[in-house]
Structure formats: structure tokens, C-alpha cells
Amino acid sequence: MERPYRPQPPQGEPHIIAHRGISAKAPENTLAAFSMAASTEGIDMIELDVRLSLDEEVVVFHDRSLQRTTTGNGIVRRYTLQEIKQFDAGSWFHPSFSHERVPTLVEVLNLVRGRLLVNIEIKSDLFHREPKGLLETKVLQVVEECGMLDQVLISSFDHQLIARLKHICPHVQTGTLYNLYRDFTKTPSDIALRADAAAFICAKHEITRSMVNDAQRHRIAVYVYTLDSIRDAEKIRALGVDGIMSNRADDIVPVRRSASSAESLEHQR
Ligand code: G3P
Ligand code: MG
């Protein structure tokens, strides 16, 4: 297989990626936030976070615990899917979203299939180590069942998990997330190539021009999160990155135009 993978956004511009959906305007990681992204022209991809429930269903959820974004309490992994589905996952954001529930990965993939690419970030819990292979196998099973292997990029801060996943399924595109405290001595190519990953993903305050240069020399795609203003997104676009993740992806779409028109848009705000 030709490697590494490099996405081809329109006219060489970066992919615009809705981080946890349009999470500034709807509760993060819910069908409402992903539907909003799917109906916005110019958004190419959604990013979402996945974990396992007690009965080993893949659920789309960011935190280890239910508290912040649902009416539930305690660790997600200790509840069955049926129990998790009882909780309201929208009211914390706004009462009008009280009908939102924690979605499964299957539900989200079915919602966006053919409309958006999906960056699936696998949350690997330091306090609860899953048996080797369990998380990545479950996620792959869902993606394959949904027929979306060629429409996903699977990433994680856990690079060993990503290496194992790529070994199990050489055709899937993968990304390694940068952890400044753990990885600061390493280059993007050190990190991505070691895990056989096609993409390197880091935060906006972590990216430097030399990191982008290193990644480009090795044909590794670079994604940066989370840029929530046109001005910030434009600065990162100018580095020549391949993807820009935003909680306000709908507002960031115009960054694909020239720097000057993006700036004039910013001035109109
Ligand atoms: O995948 C990029 C980003 O989502 C990683 O951090 O905490 O927002 O999942 P977090
Ligand atoms: Mg994430």
C-alpha cells in the first residue's frame, strides 16, 4: 500500500474539522453537534472521542466520567449502554438539547456516512488499562460493519495502541496525538513513523514551523486543534497544515479563502 497517507483537501487547502461536532453551538459529541456539521457546507470531517461501556459497546464520549456533560455520575466504563442512554447529554449545554443522549459510534457513523470524514480519537484510560487489543478491535469492528474503513482516521495519545491497530488493519489511516510533556524531545516524524501512522496531531500552542517542515519531509499529514477564530485558524493555515480542528468549524470555513479575505472577514465581526 502506498504510504504514508496524505489527505487531499480542496485546492491544497486544509481539511476543516468539527471538533466534537459543532461543539460551540450544540452539546459536544452528540448527534445534534454532528448533524450541524453535516449540514454545513465546507466542513469535511468531524472529530469525536470514543470509549467503551461496561458491556463493551463503543460510545462517543470525551471524559472518563459522566458528570460534566450528562445527568449521570461516575465512570462511563462502569455503566452498560442501556444505562448510559438514560442520561440526558444535552441540558448541561442548553435546556433545548435535553433530548440528546450519548451516541454510539455506530449511530454517528450512520448519520454522517457519505457526507463527512470521521476522525475517531480513541481515549485510552491511564487509570483503567484495557486488555491489549480490546479497544482497537472493538472500534475497528464498528467501522468495518458500517463500511467506513476508507472514510476514517483513527487517532490516539496512546501510540502503542495505534501501532497495534495499524498492524491488525494495515489499510486503516491512523494518527498519533502529541503530548508535549511526554513527547517534547521527539519530532513529528519520530512519533508518527514509529507507530506507522499517516498523521501527526497537536494543539495550536505546540505546533512550530520546523515541526511542519519535518512532517512534510516525511509526507506525514499535520492536524492542529482547536482554532476557534478566523485569525488563529489563518495563522495555522499559513504553516501549510493539512487539517484545522475547531469547536466553531462553521465559522472557520472561510479560512480556505486567501489570507486577505479571511482577514477582512475577521474585521467585519
Ligand atoms: O483529537 C484532538 C483533540 O480532540 C485531543 O484532545 O481532549 O479535545 O480530545 P481532546
Ligand atoms: Mg478528542
Neighbour-count burial of 167, counting CB atoms closer than 10 A to its CB (0-12 exposed, 13-18 middle, 19+ buried): exposed
Q: What's the pLDDT score for residue 261?
A: 44
Of ligand 1's atoms, which has the minimum distance to the CA of residue 123? 9
Q: What's the pLDDT score for residue 64?
A: 97
| Cα Rg, the chain, nearest whole Å | 18
pTM for the structure as a whole: 0.93
Residue nearest atom 2 of ligand 1, based on CA coordinates: 225
Q: What's the pLDDT score for residue 36?
A: 98
- Please name the residues in contact with 107: beta carbons below 8 A apart, sequence gap of 6 or more: 31, 60
| CA-based nearest residue to 137, from 50, 46, 220 | 50
- The CB of 5 under 6 Å from ligand 1? The reply is no
Give start and end residues of each alpha helix (H) in the chain. Answer: 31-38, 81-84, 105-112, 134-145, 159-168, 180-183, 188-194, 209-217, 230-237, 249-252, 259-268
24 C-alpha to center of ligand 1: Å?
Answer: 14
How do the domains of the chain map onto residue ranges? Answer: 10-268
- CA pseudo-torsion sign 207, 212, 213, 214: positive
Q: What's the pLDDT score for residue 9?
A: 54
Q: What's the pLDDT score for residue 257?
A: 65
Check residue 231 and report its DSSP letter: H
Residue nearest atom 1 of ligand 1, based on CA coordinates: 121
188 C-alpha to center of ligand 2: Å?
Answer: 18
Instruction: Select the CATH number that applies to the domain covering 10-268 from these four: 3.20.20.100, 3.20.20.190, 3.40.190.10, 1.10.10.1100.
Output: 3.20.20.190
Of ligand 1's atoms, which has the minimum distance to the CA of residue 49? 9
- Report helix, strand or coil for 244: strand
Q: What's the pLDDT score for residue 125?
A: 86
| CA-based nearest residue to 84, from 55, 110, 46 | 55
CA dist 125 → 30, 64, 143 (Å)? 21, 7, 21
Which is catalytic among the residues 15, 62, 167, 267?
62
Q: What's the pLDDT score for residue 235?
A: 96
Label the pairing between strands 15-19 and 221-225. unpaired
99 counts as catalytic: no
Of ligand 1's atoms, which has the minimum distance to the CA of residue 245? 2
**What does the pLDDT profile of the chain (269 residues) look like in tens digits?**
333 333 445 567 899 999 999 999 999 999 999 999 999 999 999 999 999 999 999 999 999 999 999 999 999 999 999 999 999 999 999 999 999 999 999 999 999 999 999 999 999 988 888 999 999 999 999 999 999 999 999 999 999 999 999 999 999 999 999 999 999 999 999 999 999 999 999 999 999 999 999 999 999 999 999 999 999 999 999 999 999 999 999 999 999 864 444 444 444 33
62 counts as catalytic: yes
Q: What's the pLDDT score for residue 259?
A: 41
- Report helix, strand or coil for 51: strand
Q: What's the pLDDT score for residue 7?
A: 40
Which chain residues have CB less than 5 Å from ligand 2, an ion?
49, 121
* For residue 27, cis peptide bond before it (omega within 30 degrees of 0): no
